[in-house]
Amino acid sequence: MTRIATCLWFDKGGEEAARFYCSLIPNSEVTNVARFNPEDPENTLVEYKLNGVPYQHLSAGPHFTQSEAASIVVITEDQEETDRYWDALTADGGRESMCGWLKDRWGVNWQVFPRKLTELTMAPGEAGERARQAMFKMKRIDLAAVQAAHDGVAA
């Protein structure tokens, strides 16, 4: 069977990042670590699954960097879960961006937002437009504030 996985390039720290992600996201595991150079333990290919989705981290030097053109998306069930992922991924040098986007301490880009956000921001008419405008002003998504904007309730 053909196997497909997303591979992310790291200067170094790919194994540490994969193990952190697996500790954060339920039903996740590191499945293989291959070391290419015994004199450089950072030179690795790490294979892992995040909630069953396969990924690879290739730690092979500073030749390429992460870009906002690619991100890992975590769709949460509620604000509490959103906050838990957000806090963990922005800790220790991660950076917030706009509209539920962030960059973790390794430079990997993530989108973290509650499932209901899509329903609210894609609603037809003025309700959806109000929800989108509220979201556009946020870094971490505040679902209650987006819901209030959608409903036309003043904050």
CB atoms within 10 A of CB 62: 9
CATH 3.10.180.10 fits 1-59, yes or no: yes
pLDDT at residue 154 tops 80: no
**CA gap 84, 1 in Å, rounded:** 36
Tell me if 145 sits within 8 A of 138, measured CB to CB. yes
- The two tokens of residue 68 are 């906002």
Q: What is the pLDDT of residues 60-81, one digit of tens each?
A: 999 999 999 999 999 999 999 9
Single pTM value for the model: 0.93
Fold held by 70-155: 2,3-Dihydroxybiphenyl 1,2-Dioxygenase; domain 1 (3.10.180)
Tell me the backbone φ, ψ of residue 42, rounded to 5 degrees. Answer: -75, -20
Tell me the backbone φ, ψ of residue 88, rounded to 5 degrees. Answer: -65, -40
Q: Is 16 helix (H, G, I), strand (E, B) or coil?
A: helix
Q: What is the pLDDT of residues 8-51, one digit of tens each?
A: 999 999 999 999 999 999 999 999 999 988 888 889 999 999 99
